[in-house]
Structure 1
Amino acid sequence: MTEEEHVRRAGPLTYRGRAIPDTTTDQRLLDRRGPSDWVHTDPWRVLRIQSEFVEGFGLLAELPSAVSVFGSARIQPGTEYYELGVRMGAKLAEAGYATITGGGPGMMEAANKGAQRAGGMSVGLGIELPFEQSLNEYVDVGVTFRYFFVRKLMFVKYAQAFVVMPGGFGTLDELFEAITLVQTKKVTRFPVILVGTEFWGGMREWVESSLLKHNLISPQDMDLLHVTDDPDDVIATIRQAHAHLESRFERDEPGPSA
């Protein structure tokens, strides 16, 4: 057997010797029988991940200016924080912003509810979890993702600001990822606003007394954490940040060529 016969090329892949498969790619594709383990392999997962990006981009590409709102799924209707979430969603809608949430219950439902009832666009980006958590009834446009990292990209890519309501580990994860992206200039700076001074005040104090004290962050990094109780202040902060950004872009635009 020649050296060439010990080699099989399948597109960009090269197999040699004992690694050469017994069947061709077409045979494995067209054969209706056989094991289904291939749908759980990493190459197949890559295609599934790609499809999630395509679905998310396709759904959200034509959204108006939007704000991502995060918060706990455990907040119950009728509570103080739930009603604050409803007011927050309504204020965003009245200001012309679409509201993007994780699409679940609790604080996410509250923001979607406020946005929808105020006539705004209400968006839900759900996630597959071991326990059942369908999109809440106040979502106008929604998609459910398998992969957290795809979902998190959508929150960042299509939002002009992050509004962080009281929440647990998932909310903290989104909060600190957003701050890190802004701090490292991986994204154009956008406001990250924490709503609930009683809830978030202690965390901000800890960041200042521990991280800043030990020079683990820069003094200007404290400006990335704006804490308030007032939905009107949230809207004003977002608009001020966007006005500053637009004026900077206008200054940076090249003049007419000579």
Structure 2
Amino acid sequence: MSGHTTQQKVALVTGANKGIGRAAAAQLAALGMTVLIGARDPRRGEQAAADLRAEGGDVHAITLDVTDPATARAAAKQIEERFGHLDVLINNAGITGSGQVSPEDAHDQVPSSVDLDMVRTVFETNVFGVIAVTNAMLPLLRRSPAPRIVNVSSHAASLTLTSDQDGPFAALLPSAAYTPSKSALSALTVQYANELRKDGILVNAAAPGYVDTDSNNHSGHLTPAQGAAVLVRLATLGADGPTAGFFSEDGSVPW
């Protein structure tokens, strides 16, 4: 393996063939990192990677279905063989569970009438998938001088904000699937951060804000690039940066 490869910073972004993940991949590539676009659909992943390479980035697609631990292990093996290490993991892949309806508008997530299979499906991607991918990539992250893990969450994960009857989230429909899955991701973020703190691995959760994406039928008011900014900031923290935190572009988000 050449010295170039060892020095080159390598980032993996899951669910990165579109939306916020793709915008984060573009920004990390613009910073000079080698970026791996994790995508379930190899064709979509390759297309996104090719588009970003055309913009001058060192970007490659890697097939990764976060709900299939075998693909996470296979992706880790590929990264090890080609690059030998990983510096940044952005766990961005997530689903709302409600098709092309934002979870804020999803009547099928109301707790008293929710379909348990839908809840399981959402947790499978948004929580268990993060564990599977993180654990597959940890041996590679441990080889980095400055490893960073960013879990992409949502303001809706905040129990403080969503329990405030006079707050900005009071109008949201109650959700038993998406919203609790992101709250669980917050808890998971803190536990990983606590375990990995001694190893210098910084682990934080990011709330991109209300971004114009497929998951809310393009009703968001922020661009994917604006939403991705906080992900990139947390992915490039210095050694004195925070860990076990929850941040938006405006600063700390309450748990």
TM range (shorter): 0.3 to 0.5
Work out which of the two has the higher radius of gyration on C-alpha atoms and give 1 or 2: 1
Output the TM-score relative to the length of structure 2. Answer: 0.43
